[in-house]
Amino acid sequence: MSDYRIQGETGEWEVVIGLEVHAQISTNAKLFSGASTEFGAEPNTQVSLVDAAMPGMLPVPNRECVRQAVRTGMALGANINKYSRFDRKNYFYADLPQGYQISQLYHPIVGEGQITVSLDDKDPDAPTKSIGVERIHIEQDAGKLMHDQHPTMSYVDLNRSGVALMEIVSKPDMASPAEAGAYVRKLRAILRYVGSCDGNMEQGSMRADVNVSVRKPGYELGTRTETKNVNSVRFVQAVIEQEAKRQVELIEGGGTVVQETRLYDPDRNETRSMRSKEDAHDYRYFPDPDLLPLELDDDFLAECRASLPELPDAKQARYESVLGLTPYNAATLIADADTARWFEALMAEGARIQGKDEKDVATASANWLLGELYGALNRLGLSLADSPVSPERGAELIALVADGTISGSIAKQVFEIMLETGDPAAKVVADKGLKQTSDTGAIEAVVAKVLADNADKVAQYKDGKEALFGFFVGQTMKAMQGKANPQVINEILKAKLA
């Protein structure tokens, strides 16, 4: 993957990619006001006098925004700057009521960190690559313009104005669309683990500015372009492909790449120059005189650290080494914070009701979640969050298999009923009379009948066709409507056929 190359007329070109990801910090209120951040409200109903930049209004920062940015930085193993400042980025636009965005240029809250990505998600043994994070800073989001409501006017909605964002700036460490995709996915997973951003790219709570340049291998960095506000992993990759191709063609055609801001048009799958925002930017950054320096004390940092959950890499390692899960299962379960949380609830409940260690129920839990439950959810078109069966109910079902109350195949039937009725497994088993029998006498009687009815096959078995053992098990199970303990059937059959 890192040998991704653009084949030009003059030879091969490398691509150099850096990403600036804007992630909306999950908070109730905005960065500098008490207005709500909830998505989808009526226009201008979640706007305070502060957000509308009325004369004399002043910003007071929201502690939770600071806390979440710090926790995110810690999750990326980054330096947390105990001293940071807010700066004003000055420019005029209708979605920017103050005429400046409060951001952090000179002293960001988080310094260098890194994200380790797998170079092939499908292969747990694939090599990994460490992508540097340059910095994370906190800033205000802008409002929204609607252009299609009126023939000669645009409409301004300030509901998003002042919502807190983290800008997570990577180093130009990525060399292919796939690496960039893996970076965004991994970053999103970490943000969701930390709880600092919901990672919802469709609603715009996470979006990326994609910096792309090309160069001949071994040469200096080329001039980069920045494609703004790309809002899906797929589009990030498409931007890189298109932009790299465009730049190579441009250079090979005798042109030069201009450092500029571009927009991605998903319908045409192309980037184009954003002329309207391009006029001689001089942002005149300076420290916001309405805000003092932000100084974090040790207690604050200690709380941030103590409240961090186990992160994906650590979790995967633990799932493999402590719980004994396969690398594939472990990787699948940790890829998303909600899945891991679901799995751990399932496993914990299973261990509790079975009186066992978590590691002793881990594999059965993982297999059931990734096999039965995922299969059912896929079929029903539901996400894990909407699962009709809770982790507690799932654990009860798994426990019934583990203690021999029902067989694995009965468990599948029970689960189907649970999906429809929401009833606990034990109730389904009782109502439908699905309890498995381990009654040796009853099983012996059935086995005897099966062997008598199939005397020819018994003869063949005894002649060495041992594969028929499964046939006898199946016939016995069938005769007992699946409710016999397969272990007991095995033992009895073995004795009878010996």
Partner 1 sequence: MTDLTDLTVTEIRDGVADGSFSAREVAEGFNAAVAAAKPLNAFIVETPEKALAAADAVDAKRAKSEPLGLMGGVPIGMKDLFCTEGVQSTAASHILEGFVPQYESTVSAKLWAAGAGMLGKLNMDQFAMGSSNETSFFGNVISPWRRNDGGNTDLAPGGSSGGSSTAVSARIAPAATGTDTGGSIRQPAAFTGICGIKPTYGRCSRWGVVAFASSLDQAGPMARTVQDCAIMLEAMAGFDPKDATSLDNPVPHWEGALSGDLKGKRIGIPREYRMEGIDPEIDKSWEAGKAWLRDAGAEIVDISLPHTKYALPAYYIIAPAEASSNLARYDGVRYGLRDLPEGAGLQDMYAATRAAGFGPEVKRRIMIGTYVLSAGFYDAYYTQAQKVRTLIARDFGRAWGECDLILAPTAPSAAFGLGEKSDDPIAMYLNDVFAVPASLAGLPAMSVPAGLNGQGLPLGLQIIGKPLDEQSVLDAGLAIEQRAGFEARPGKWW
Partner 2 sequence: MSVDLPTVKKIASLARIAMDDAEAAALLPELNNILGWVEQLGEVDVSGVEPMTAVIPNTLRLRDDVVDADPLTGGGVRDKILANAPEPQHGFFGVPKVIE
Does residue 46 touch partner 2 according to CB under 8 A? yes
Spatial CA neighbour of 481 closest among 419, 399, 413 = 413
x/- letters, 264..283, toward partner 1 (CB under 8 A):
------------------x-
Euclidean distance between CA atoms 344 and 108, whole angstroms: 36
Residue among 93 and 471 whose Cβ is closer to partner 1: 93
3-state secondary structure string, 343-401? HHHHHHHHHHHHCCCHHHHHHHHHHHHHHHHHHHHHHHCCCHHHCCCCHHHHHHHHHHH
Whether residue 265 contacts residue 229, with contact meaning beta carbons closer than 8 Å, is answered with no
Does residue 29 touch partner 2 according to CB under 8 A? yes
Q: Nearest distance from residue 41's CB to partner 1, in Å?
A: 18
Residue among 91 and 471 whose Cβ is closer to partner 1: 91
Euclidean distance between CA atoms 362 and 57, whole angstroms: 55
Distance, C-alpha 184 to centroid of its chain: 9
14, 24, 62, 135: which one contacts partner 2 (CB under 8 A)? 62
Pick one of partner 2, partner 1, none as the site partner of residue 258 (Cβ within 5 to 8 A by kind).
none
Whether residue 371 contacts residue 333, with contact meaning beta carbons closer than 8 Å, is answered with no
Distance, C-alpha 149 to centroid of its chain: 35
12, 94, 327, 481: which one contacts partner 2 (CB under 8 A)? 94
Pick one of partner 1, partner 2, none as the site partner of residue 409 (Cβ within 5 to 8 A by kind).
none
11, 12, 45, 422: which one contacts partner 2 (CB under 8 A)? 45
Q: Nearest distance from residue 181's CB to partner 1, in Å?
A: 35
Q: Nearest distance from residue 70's CB to partner 2, in Å?
A: 12
266, 293, 375, 474: which one contacts partner 2 (CB under 8 A)? 293
273, 286, 303, 305: which one contacts partner 1 (CB under 8 A)? 286
Does residue 150 touch partner 2 according to CB under 8 A? yes
Pick one of partner 2, partner 1, none as the site partner of residue 66 (Cβ within 5 to 8 A by kind).
partner 2
146, 258, 292, 317: which one contacts partner 1 (CB under 8 A)? 292
Spatial CA neighbour of 493 closest among 481, 482, 466 = 466
Q: Nearest distance from residue 40's CB to partner 1, in Å?
A: 23
Does residue 97 touch partner 1 according to CB under 8 A? yes
Euclidean distance between CA atoms 316 and 332, whole angstroms: 9
Does residue 55 touch partner 1 according to CB under 8 A? yes
Helix (H) or strand (E) holding 473: helix 468-479
Does residue 486 touch partner 1 according to CB under 8 A? no
5, 8, 20, 61: which one contacts partner 1 (CB under 8 A)? 61
Radius of gyration for the chain, computed over Cα atoms and rounded to the nearest angstrom? 30
Pick one of partner 2, partner 1, none as the site partner of residue 149 (Cβ within 5 to 8 A by kind).
partner 2
CB atoms under 10 Å from CB of 45, counted, come to: 12
Q: Concatenated DSSP letters for 187-200? A: HHHHHHHHTS----
Euclidean distance between CA atoms 159 and 40, whole angstroms: 9
Euclidean distance between CA atoms 285 and 88, whole angstroms: 5
Pick one of partner 2, partner 1, none as the site partner of residue 237 (Cβ within 5 to 8 A by kind).
none
Who contacts 413 (Cβ-Cβ below 8 Å, separation ≥6)?
432, 434, 482
Does residue 280 touch partner 2 according to CB under 8 A? yes
Rounded (10°) angle between helices 337-354 and 391-402: 50
Positions in the binding site for partner 1 (CB under 8 A): 49, 52-61, 88, 90, 92-94, 97-100, 154, 156, 282, 284-286, 288-292
Residues that bind partner 2 (CB under 8 A): 27-29, 33-36, 42-52, 60-66, 85, 92, 94, 145-147, 149-158, 263, 274, 276-277, 280, 282, 284, 287, 291-295
